[in-house]
Amino acid sequence: MTFPDGYTPRNYRLESLAPSIPWFDRHVRRQRPDATTSSPVRIYVMGANMWREEQEWPLARARHVSYYLRSGGRANSAAGDGQLTTDAPATSEPADAFEYDPQNPVPTRGGAELGTGGGIVLQNDVEDRADVLVYTTPPLDRDTEVTGEIVARLYVATTAPSTDFTAKLVDVRPDGAAYNVTDGILRRDYTPQVDPARASPELIDVRLWPTSVVFRRGHRIRLEVSSSNFPRFDRNLNSGEPAASAARAVAATQALHHGRERASQLVLPIVP
């Protein structure tokens, strides 16, 4: 495959399997380890397009930086007013709301999938949907490396007794092309609310798959929040029925709260 920046890496499957050979030599054939294979961790840094040896995981030198979700209550789609900022909100802000309809889920675009549908794929068509909340930083003034485990810490409310919330980290190029980096999902029960945008929300942590990527200078960091990523993740039908036998699909109103009292945030491990 070719990366969005035009770089064509060596065969990733061969590269990722290569470290297993000396491991088997050491633990099965009882050979002494080669000095060149002594590092316990080997990661691929996207953006920098390079393999790198490390001595621990997660990286001790990474700093966990909070990027706060901000908006005027209209973060729906990339055309909305959603922002990511390292400045903590000083005032209250209106919640962002959307309708999640299991009969019309947000489609999967790339990601950790086997087959031809996986990998790095444009997200712009997904970000045109009103049921996808989009929060974006200003253009970066320097290269920024994110390596480690990522958490979206969100204050949410819903009309459903059980539903999902998804989070996706996205790299936005200067021309506006948006490419997925990593994603995650959380399924759990909730206390249904009549008006989620005005209700008292619950704090959840959506854990995204660990990654390593350099967001280049001039690029923007983006977070997408929704309630489906199908078929990568099974749809929650919102009915509260057992997942294995649920047959009744119910549309739900979802709300994401942010602001001074409910500081929803994306926590990124930034490597100096």
Pick the closest to residue 129 from 168, 172, 100, 171 (CA basis). Answer: 100
SS3 191: coil
SS3 238: coil
pLDDT, residue 14, reads 74
Find the helix or strand (DSSP H, E) in which 236 lies. Answer: none
pLDDT, residue 7, reads 65
Report domain extents, the chain: 12-54, 63-271
Q: How far apart are CA 259 and CA 87, in angstroms?
A: 11
For the segment 21-36, what is each residue's pLDDT rounded down to a tens digit? 877 887 888 877 665 5
In sequence order, the 6+-apart residues with CB closer than 8 A to the CB of 38 are: none
| pTM (predicted TM-score) | 0.91
Using a pLDDT cut of 70, give the percent of the chain over it.
94
In sequence order, the 6+-apart residues with CB closer than 8 A to the CB of 228 are: 100, 102, 105, 106, 131, 164, 166, 235, 236
Residue 254 — very low, low, confident or very high, per pLDDT cuts 50/70/90?
very high
CA atoms in the 13 A half-sphere facing the CB of 65: 18
Give the class (CATH, top level) of 63-271: mainly beta
pLDDT, residue 37, reads 57
pLDDT higher than 80, residue 9? no
For the segment 184-193, what is each residue's pLDDT rounded down to a tens digit? 999 999 999 9
For the segment 162-185, what is each residue's pLDDT rounded down to a tens digit? 999 999 999 999 999 999 999 999
Q: Quote the mean pLDDT of the chain.
A: 93
For the segment 35-88, what is each residue's pLDDT rounded down to a tens digit? 555 688 989 999 999 999 999 999 999 999 999 999 999 999 999 999 999 999
Q: How far apart are CA 21 and CA 150, in angstroms?
A: 30
For the segment 95-144, what is each residue's pLDDT rounded down to a tens digit? 999 999 999 999 999 998 877 788 899 999 999 999 999 999 999 999 99
pLDDT higher than 90, residue 8? no
Q: How far apart are CA 64 and CA 101, in angstroms?
A: 34
SS3 38: coil
